[in-house]
Amino acid sequence: MTASAVLDELRSGGPFTVSELVDLTGLTRATVIAVCEDLVRRGWAEEHVLERLGPQRGRPPRTFGFRADGGVVVGLDIGAHKTTALVADLRGEILGTASGAFRDSEPGARERLDVVSSTAVAALRAASSAPERVLAVGAGVAAPVDRSGHVAEGSDFWEMFDVGLAAALRERHGWHVLLENDANLAALAEQWLGAARGLDDVAVVLAGERLGAGLIESGRLLRGRNGAAGELAFLGLVDGAVGPHGIAQLAREWGAEAAAQSRGLAGLAPADVTAEAVFAAADDGDPAAEGVLRRLEGRMARVIAVLSTLLNPELVVLGGAIAPAAARLLPGIRLELKELTETPAEVEVSALEGEAVALGAVRRALDDVAERALEIDLPGSQAG
């Protein structure tokens, strides 16, 4: 416990003198020195040699700092069509990144594992790091994941991600892997670096093709029995919400309907309408595209009203690759939301864009390393 207390303080800032660590931890001076020397031996800390400035006599105070370069963590965002990997030091500074696409539209387990593994290794090369320096890997998938790291059953789409990732990466590289739902990781990222910093009651909605939510209540993730607490399929039972269709999917479908009725959208054929084209046409003043955006505002306001009423979060963050475009919907969403619930949440759009899941995976891996720190043998440490 004393070692954990000192290590937590070193990780949070510093470097600190022994006297500062005594004040921060409430431990005795002798205990702090013994613990710091042990942490140096284990590779978690380093002693800073300071020169005495001015006419003062005697040795400068002993000063210790956290070794953020003692190892690295990897954050993975494993989507249906591609994988993104981030490598960070032990304070969360991003050192390298890489991405890889699956060749097949419906890749099998072997292809998924090969692409994920090679993408992670490529990110490590970009970070000038080696696979043996990885202390933990966070990995996000578009499926519910329970507290034991198992993908939920019941959906062919979910089960597509159940490829034995943790066991495979352990066998290939010796890595400790933490599998998690992608929206949950996006929520961790928003609380760490995004719009939800400092907040304990937050819903983060990945709003691209399908809606999925990461829920944080009183500072902790809500998972449910098999990890499906943030699945929004129940919206199909809510009048006016239809189902968990995301902004990109609805923009494309409603835009195609408008194009088929010859109501604008820059003369596009229905089959050529994309979500990007709808938002671009609305920016150019196309009445049909503006009508699609009004419908999107109403739909998302109803979805957020349901979350506000059920969970009473302080903030709902709209995230995912669609987030920059979704910013255009915010004024209308906020206006309608006030008419739908007596407990409307604040609504913001993520500034983390496409990296939220991978950043959340980094955060998850860092938290795991902090929990297991004194059980980990760091590369090059003198422990043991």
Flag whether pLDDT at 283 surpasses 60: yes
| 91-126 tens-digit pLDDT | 999 999 999 999 877 778 899 999 999 999 999 999
Q: According to the model, what pLDDT value does residue 235 have?
A: 85
Q: According to the model, what pLDDT value does residue 187 have?
A: 97
- 233 and 288 in a single domain? The answer is yes
Picking from 46, 66, 86, the residue at the C-terminal end of a domain is: 66
Determine, yes or no, domain membership for 380: no
| 246-274 tens-digit pLDDT | 999 999 999 999 998 876 687 888 899 99
- 202 and 137 in a single domain? The answer is no
Residues 6+ apart with CB under 8 A from 46: 40, 64, 65, 67
- 269 and 363 in a single domain? The answer is no
Domain count of the chain? Answer: 3
* H or E stretch covering 84: strand 82-88
Distance CA 85, CA 100 (A): 9
Cβ atoms of 323 and 206 closer than 8 Å = no
Q: According to the model, what pLDDT value does residue 168 have?
A: 95
| 194-223 tens-digit pLDDT | 999 999 999 999 999 889 999 999 999 999
Across the chain, what does the average pLDDT equal? 91
- 210 and 315 in a single domain? The answer is yes
Q: According to the model, what pLDDT value does residue 53 have?
A: 55
Determine, yes or no, domain membership for 143: yes
- 37 and 80 in a single domain? The answer is no
Task: Please give the model's pTM, rounded to 2 decimal places.
Answer: 0.91
Determine, yes or no, domain membership for 361: yes
- 47 and 136 in a single domain? The answer is no
Determine, yes or no, domain membership for 247: yes
Determine, yes or no, domain membership for 141: yes
Who wins on pLDDT, 57 or 105?
105
Determine, yes or no, domain membership for 328: yes
Determine, yes or no, domain membership for 381: no
Picking from 47, 66, 85, the residue at the C-terminal end of a domain is: 66
Determine, yes or no, domain membership for 55: yes
Flag whether pLDDT at 279 surpasses 90: yes
Q: According to the model, what pLDDT value does residue 217 have?
A: 95
- 8-state DSSP, 245: B
CATH of the domain at 37: 1.10.10.10
CATH of the domain at 165: 3.30.420.40
- 331 and 242 in a single domain? The answer is yes
- 234 and 346 in a single domain? The answer is yes
Q: Averaged over 159-170, what is the pLDDT?
A: 90
Share of the chain above pLDDT 70, in %: 95
Q: Report CA-CA distances (Å) from 335 to 246, 282, 304, 330, 331.
A: 20, 19, 12, 9, 6
Lookup result for tokens 């939920």: 152
Range of the domain at 18: 2-66
- 268 and 328 in a single domain? The answer is yes
- 39 and 110 in a single domain? The answer is no
Cβ atoms of 364 and 188 closer than 8 Å = yes
- 297 and 367 in a single domain? The answer is no
- 289 and 177 in a single domain? The answer is no
